[in-house]
C-alpha cells in the first residue's frame, strides 16, 4: 500500500531502515529486501552508508523509478549553504539524479537533542529553505522533517513556501506521540514511524508479548502492524533475509479492541486471563 503525500507523490507504507548497517554491507541487504518486496529505502547522511545504498539500488534489478529513496540532512547542519551543499553531496554519494525524500534529521544537533532549550528556529528555517530550493530544482521529489515536535513544526509552517510532507518520529508500542501525530495529520503531513520495533526491544513489552501469542505472529509483525493501523509509514530495520521477510509479511489484522490495548487505552486486565492464556498454551505446543 502507498500513502499519498500532500504534493501527490506516493510513498510505500513499509520501508527498510538502514541505520547501523555498514556501508560495505548495506547493498546486499537492499538487494535482499527488494527481492522480498520492499520498494522504500531509508538512509541518512549521518548513517555514512549512502554510497552502499546507492550501489544496492542500482544493482537490485528493479527500475530506479520504482524505488523510493529517503535521505536526511545531518542534524548538525544548521545553515543554508551547508545544508544545500550536503544535498548535492548525498546525490553524488547515492549516484542518483534525484532523491525521493530529503528531510531535516533533527531540529537540534544530536548532542543537544532534548537537553537544550535552543530550538534552532531561525536555523531550521534556513535549512528548510535549502530543501525548498533543491525541491524546486528537481533534485528532490518530496521534503520533510524528522524528530520535530509541534513547536518545531509550527516554526516551519509559519514561514515556509512549501509545507513539509513528512515528519519521521520515534513511534512504537509504549512510545506513541499521539498529540504530534494528530497535529501532523491535521496539517496534511504524513507521519513515518522509525524504530517501530522499539530498537529491537519489543519482546520486552508485555502487551506486545500477549498480542504476538494471540495472533501467532512475531513481536516485530505486531509492532509494524500497530504503526500501519495508526495510519503511519513504518520503517523497520533488518539485516537477515529471514527478518526482512518477517517484517514484510503483514497480511493479518489486529482487532480494534486489541489496538486499544496496544495504544495503552485499555489495560490487559480488562480482558481477563481466559481470553489470552489458552492461546499461549496452544501456540507453545
pLDDT value at position 265?
A: 84
pLDDT above 70 for 285: no
pLDDT of 280 > 70? The answer is no
pLDDT at 283: 30
DSSP 100: S
Whichever domain contains 162, its CATH number is 3.20.20.100
Inform me whether the pLDDT recorded for 109 exceeds 50: yes
Task: Please count the structural domains in the chain.
Answer: 1
Which of 225, 214, 213 shows the shortest CA–CA distance to 250?
A: 225
CB 197 within 8 A of CB 16: no
Residue 146 lies in a domain: yes
248, part of any domain: yes
pLDDT of residue 64: 96
What pLDDT score does 202 carry?
Answer: 87
Query: Within a 10 A sphere around the Cβ of 270, how many other Cβ atoms?
Result: 10
Integer Cα distance of 106 and 33 in angstroms: 27
Using DSSP bridges, classify how beta strands 40-42 and 16-17 pair: parallel, antiparallel or unpaired.
parallel
Residue 273 has pLDDT above 80, yes or no: no
Per the domain annotation, does 101 fall within a domain? yes
In a domain, 4, yes or no: no
**Looking at the domain assignment, is residue 25 inside a domain?**
yes
Position 270 confidence tier, pLDDT thresholds 50, 70, 90: low
100: domain range?
10-283
Indicate the helix (H) or strand (E) that contains 282. helix 273-283
Name the active-site residue from 38, 47, 77, 194: 47
Reported confidence tier of residue 25, pLDDT bands at 50, 70, 90: very high
Question: Is 47 in the active site?
Answer: yes
**Percent of the chain scoring above 70 in pLDDT:** 94
Residue 189 DSSP class:
P
Residue 180 · residue 189 · CB < 8 Å: no
What is the structure's pLDDT at 126? 98
Q: Give per-residue pLDDT as tens, 115-163.
A: 888 999 999 999 999 999 999 999 999 999 999 999 999 999 999 999 9
- 89 confidence band (pLDDT: 50, 70, 90): very high
Alpha-carbon torsion 222, 223, 226, 231, what sign? negative
Amino acid at each position: 500500500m502507498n500513502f499519498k503525500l500532500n504534493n501527490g507523490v506516493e510513498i510505500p507504507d513499509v520501508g527498510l531502515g538502514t541505520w547501523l548497517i555498514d556501508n560495505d554491507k548495506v547493498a546486499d541487504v537492499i538487494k535482499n529486501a527488494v527481492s522480498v518486496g520492499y520498494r522504500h529505502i531509508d538512509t541518512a547522511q549521518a548513517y555514512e552508508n549512502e554510497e552502499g545504498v546507492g550501489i544496492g539500488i542500482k544493482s537490485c534489478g528493479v527500475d530506479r523509478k520504482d524505488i523510493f529513496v529517503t535521505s536526511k540532512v545531518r542534524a548538525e547542519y544548521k545553515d543554508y549553504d551547508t545544508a544545500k551543499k550536503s544535498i548535492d553531496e548525498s546525490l553524488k554519494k547515492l549516484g542518483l539524479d534525484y532523491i525521493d525524500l530529503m528531510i531535516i534529521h533533527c531540529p537540534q544537533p544530536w548532542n543537544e537533542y532534548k537537553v537544550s532549550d535552543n530550538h534552532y528556529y531561525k536555523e531550521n528555517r534556513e535549512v528548510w529553505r535549502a530543501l525548498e530550493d533543491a525541491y524546486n530544482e528537481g533534485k528532490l521529489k518530496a521534503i520533510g522533517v524528522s524528530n520535530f515536535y509541534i513547536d518545531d513544526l509550527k516554526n516551519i509552517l509559519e514561514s515556509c513556501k512549501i509545507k513539509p510532507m513528512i515528519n519521521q518520529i520515534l513511534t512504537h508500542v509504549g512510545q506513541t506521540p499521539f498529540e504530534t501525530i494528530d497535529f501532523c495529520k491535521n496539517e496534511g503531513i504524513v507521519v513515518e514511524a522509525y524504530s517501530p520495533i522499539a530498537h529491537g526491544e519489543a519482546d520486552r513489552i508485555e502487551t506486545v508479548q500477549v498480542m504476538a501469542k494471540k495472533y501467532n505472529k512475531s513481536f516485530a509483525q505486531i509492532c509494524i502492524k500497530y504503526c500501519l493501523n495508526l495510519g503511519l509509514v513504518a520503517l523497520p530495520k533488518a539485516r537477515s533475509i529471514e527478518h526482512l521477510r518477517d517484517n514484510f509479511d503483514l497480511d493479518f489484522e489486529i482487532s480494534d479492541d486489541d489496538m486499544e490495548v496496544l495504544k495503552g487505552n485499555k489495560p490487559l486486565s480488562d480482558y481477563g486471563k481466559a481470553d489470552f492464556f489458552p492461546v499461549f498454551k496452544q501456540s507453545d505446543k
